[in-house]
Structure 1
Amino acid sequence: MIKKSLKLALGAMIAMTPVYLAEAGETLDRVMKNKQLVLSSDAAYPPQSFLNDENEMDGFDVDVAKEIAKRMGVELTIITPAWEVITAGNWNGRWDLSVGSMTPTKERAEVLSFPAVYYYTPASFAVHKDSGAGSLDDLNGKTIGVCGGCTYDAYMDKNLVIDAEGVPAFDYQVSAGEKRTYETDTNAFDDLRLGDGKRLDAVLSALPTLQEAMKNGYPFKTVGKPVFYEPLAIATDKGDPEFDAKIKEIVAAMKSDGTMKTLSEKWYGVDYTSTN
């Protein structure tokens, strides 16, 4: 039933999508009129979002988006623009929302709205299994890979601001000798898997994403405890409070009736929807 309502369009189709001006109510009106919710997603960010063996988008974030679309009574269409394009805002109607495990930082809030935090995830360092690193201190001065423009990038630059309510305090425990940025976490993982110190000494990413990579054969091991916990929010373009209110209402209902917890346990094996 859900599969029939899911249409996958790759990033190249962005240019084919009509452009709309962002005015109050316009996004919600457009979604309900067209009976279509357009999601921006990442096709290489498992287990949050990825192409499965049937060449269909799958994952925790995708399931959350499917449920939102279902509760709105519309179809879900997925496109895959670059992360930097999503976080830049000013979407001009090319897509309607991002369910992309985005941290609602103060800088991003200047160009985006964050109607609902839907889960929290720990961020951890990983090294190649042949690495002798056994603690976070061992990573100081090393070459570390992160996704460009994401919170891990900001953490390594020591300017990460997470000002959402209920976020545990954190310290900058690692200083890289060199930081290398990548379009996606997967690209960084691919460099680390080549061998200890070949291109990278370590990566910083979401712990569930690292665990999924190791489950799929990446020769990694995590080092130390998580260095921070991220509140991860649904993002929308600024300009439509009615649409934001609708998304907030649906996410609250999904938490209240246990749907969000069920989806978290399905993909992660634990409930990441609360910091309790």
Structure 2
Amino acid sequence: MYRTIAKFTAAAALAAVFSTSACAGQVLDHVLSTKTLTVAVGTDWGPISHLDENHELVGYDVDVAKQLAASFGVEVKFVTPGFDVITAGNWAGRWDIAMGQMVPTKARAQVFDFPSVYMWGPNVAVVYKDSKVTKPADLEGKVIGVPSGASAEAYANHSLVPAWVNAKPVQYQFKPGQVKPYSSDNVAFDDLRLGEGVRLDAVLTDDSIAREAIKAGYPLKVLEPSLFSAPGALAILPGDKEFHDKIDAAMKDMKDSGILSKLSIKWYGADYSGEH
């Protein structure tokens, strides 16, 4: 029974890949003829994209999509499927491009084309605000808190294997004396805010989460440089090289002109548009 299901699932997945591939020029021609770029985003993805008090979609991805549509000379239309629906790949023409800062893993590259990386999400080390620690290397042998199951935990344990395309090997800046997993970042921050060495010496987490905690009043500080960064890419269906190239060129212009940097600072308070 298991072998039969496995064969059916593999066949269905392969069929889905081929059935959702675009023909050369097809998507771009549709976008230009309808004068509309249809973009999939989320409604509850925080600074990435969310509904504001007026029930309007706002966020970094929303602004990037608007800029992208303007570079095409078309209007933007947003649709809001779940991220699981987006990553399933069976778009059936319901949208032209997916946002969501999808990490372009090798597995996903079998289903999607990633014309441009437009966000790098760095992970950082955070210490108590009065700590004399000034850089990650100073955490050698220290007690480190991490969110359980996250990439930060794998980094702390020196077992992180990046799964994205063209990933560079991770360079570990220190070896903890003890790694303490936590159910959430906030629980770890609550222990760290008691003071250096009381329960923890540092917490490893996503940079944006750390900065939000500091903004909320946690007496912490972020160490430089970052530990590692994971890329977030625009996703389209494979097969339309013209569409791919037009997106790539537009996003390169946005990066070179500083637009991506400004939008990142607007929504995150930091520049995540380039690799850290």
Q: TM-score if structure 1 supplies the norm length?
A: 0.64
What is the identity, as a one-letter code, of the residue corresponding to 1:162? W
What's the CA shift for 1:138? 7.0
What is the identity, as a one-letter code, of the residue corresponding to 1:164? N
Q: Provide the secondary structure at the position in 2 that maps to 1:44.
A: coil
Judging changes above 3 Å, is the alpha-carbon distance between structure 1 residues 169 and 189 closer, same or farther for their aligned structure 2 residues?
Answer: closer
Q: 2:163 maps to which residue?
A: 161
Alpha-carbon contact 2:153-2:181 (below 8 Å) kept = no
Q: 2:111 maps to which residue?
A: 111
The structure number with the bigger radius of gyration is 2
Q: 1:29 maps to which residue?
A: 29
User: In structure 2, which of residues 142, 147, 150 is the aligned counterpart of residue 144 of structure 1?
Assistant: 147
Q: Provide the secondary structure at the position in 2 that maps to 1:45.
A: coil
Q: 1:16 maps to which residue?
A: none
Q: Provide the secondary structure at the position in 1 that maps to 2:227.
A: strand
Q: 1:185 maps to which residue?
A: none
Alpha-carbon contact 2:117-2:232 (below 8 Å) kept = yes
Segments of structure 2 that go 5 or more residues without pairing to the other structure are 1-18, 128-137, 192-199
Alpha-carbon contact 1:126-1:220 (below 8 Å) kept = no
Distance 2:33 2:258 in 1: 29
What's the CA shift for 1:49? 1.8
Percent pairwise identity: 32
Distance 1:81 1:261 in 2: 27
Q: Provide the secondary structure at the position in 2 that maps to 1:123.
A: strand
What's the CA shift for 1:112? 1.0
Q: 1 or 2, which has the higher strand percentage?
A: 1
Alpha-carbon contact 1:63-1:263 (below 8 Å) kept = yes
Distance 2:55 2:123 in 1: 28
What's the CA shift for 1:208? 1.8
Alpha-carbon contact 2:20-2:91 (below 8 Å) kept = no
Alpha-carbon contact 1:145-1:203 (below 8 Å) kept = no
What is the identity, as a one-letter code, of the residue corresponding to 2:76? E
Segments of structure 1 that go 5 or more residues without pairing to the other structure are 1-19, 128-133, 181-187
The count of corresponding residues between Structure 1 and Structure 2 is: 236
> Is 1:254 the counterpart of 2:254 in the alignment?
yes
Alpha-carbon contact 1:64-1:99 (below 8 Å) kept = no
Alpha-carbon contact 2:39-2:76 (below 8 Å) kept = no
**Root-mean-square deviation (CA), in Å?**
4.1
Q: TM-score if structure 2 supplies the norm length?
A: 0.64
Q: 1:79 maps to which residue?
A: 80
What's the CA shift for 1:240? 1.7
